[in-house]
Structure formats: C-alpha cells, structure tokens
Chain A
C-alpha cells in the first residue's frame, strides 16, 4: 500500500508539472525573463502549490506519525549559512541557463528523453561531486 501511495505522489507531482506547463523549460524561462517577455504563470503555480501544502501539511502532521513510517522527517535547521546562500545562488544560475530544475528534468525524461538525459546525467554528476565536497568539508571541520 505504501509503495502504491508514494508512487502515486510522484505521479501526481509530475502530472501537476504537466498541467501547469512547468515541465516545459520555455515556460519557466518565460517567468524568469522578468525584464523581457514576462510570463507570470510560475508564480501562480507556486501560489497554488504553497497554499495547498500550507493547509495540508499542518493537517497531516497533526497525527503522531505518518501512515507508513516511524516519524516525520522535517528539517529543523534555522540558520541561513554561507553554504545555503552559495548553493541557492548557484542553483539559480544553473536553473536560469536552461530552465530545468531537478523535478521537471526527471519528468522530462518521460517526454523528451534525448535532451533531458544529458542534463540529468550532468545533474547527478554534480550532485555526487557536491556531496563529496560537503563530506570533505564536514570532515575538515572535525565533525564525526
């Protein structure tokens, strides 16, 4: 049951990307083209998503635990550190270059595999490299 529901969550997320047009990098770039030919669609997508999640999240996390897991894994960090700032800044640059971010990129594997797979392969390599760098940094700081 758990497997079906998690799969359906992924399906629904991806279907939402399709319905909203966010699977299409051209539409995303249209929003990011704030000073040019601006398409505000992405703002409406975010608004709809955040609104639903805002209400739903509070509702589902009222329970003692999730339906199929031991506990809720909700991030607890509060500080805005250098890593976050640099990472977010970099991510934005990469996103702005082609208009693809992780979710839509993987969804695009199902719609436009040729180009999407090149991006996804590079993204995975970047993630692996990023994790290695992070791991090194943590060790260097004496973390155990």
Chain B
C-alpha cells in the first residue's frame, strides 16, 4: 500500500512539474524533445540556433540532474538505480531509445504524461505502442534468459 502512495505522490510531482513548465515557459515537458533539441541541428536553415531556446532546456536538465545530487548531499539518500550494467546492452538500448524517441516525437514524459493529459490521439497511439513493445521486449528477454 505504502508503495502505491509514494507512486501517486511522485506521479503528482511529475505532473505538477509539467504544469509549471507549461505555465512558465509554454513548453511540453517531453524530455526526449528537450534533450534532442540541445543537439546540433543538421539543417540550420530550418532551426536557427537561438540562445533563448537552449537556455530553458539546459536549465530544466540541470534541475533533473540536481535532484538526486541534492538528495545525496542534503538528505544523505542515494536513490537506488538497479540496472543491467552490461555496456553493450546499455549502448544498444541507448541508441534505440535515441532513434525511437526522435522518430516517435516523444517518450514517456512527452507522450505519456503530457500527451495523454492533453487527450492527444497521437500520444494515445504512441503510448499504447511503446508500452506494448516494451512489455513484449521484457517478456522475450525473460524467455530467452530463462530458456
């Protein structure tokens, strides 16, 4: 029960962050988009570099990294991050997430948290699809590992 309460509270915090970003900066809190648009553009004619466009993105991401650091420094709490540390797997999954989020125009925060809240059909479709393939991937990985 306790677990679900924390999940709801944490979720509410995430939702509130999205509201703040929209109210303050007028932007969707889609992390894949925020990050990918910090990368150099391949078509400068389409997306001229604007200092303004970069600064809010950098500030947001700075906040994202700061939270666990502050948690460690001030609360003495290091959030557990348990993952498969195989570098080949990390690289492959990172590459796929990178390409996928750019083509899909979003991720769990952009499509899931923000798109669904806006009742966006595109986001509903995207969320259903990535949830399905993610669940299938875990299922297959477990089957391969177990068998």
A-to-B contact residues, CB < 8 Å:
2-3, 5-26, 29, 32-36, 40-42, 44-54, 56-57, 59-61, 63, 65-75, 77-80, 83-103, 105-112, 114-116, 118-135, 138-139
Contact A90 B96 (CB under 8 A): yes
Residues of A contacting B121 in the complex (Cβ-Cβ under 8 angstroms): 78, 80
Residues of A contacting B29 in the complex (Cβ-Cβ under 8 angstroms): 9, 13
Contact A10 B14 (CB under 8 A): no
Chain B 33-54, CB within 8 Å of chain A: the 1/0 string?
Answer: 0011001111100100000000
Contact A10 B22 (CB under 8 A): no
Pairs A–B under 8 Å by Cβ, sample size 5: A19-B10, A94-B94, A103-B64, A127-B39, A135-B46
> How far is the CB of A109 from the nearest CB of chain B, in Å?
5
Tell me the complex Cα distance, A14–B99, Å. 23
Contact A6 B102 (CB under 8 A): no
Tell me the complex Cα distance, A130–B109, Å. 19
One of B66, B95, B139 near A94 (C-beta < 8 A):
B95
Contact A3 B59 (CB under 8 A): yes
Chain B 108-121, CB within 8 Å of chain A: the 1/0 string?
Answer: 11011111111011
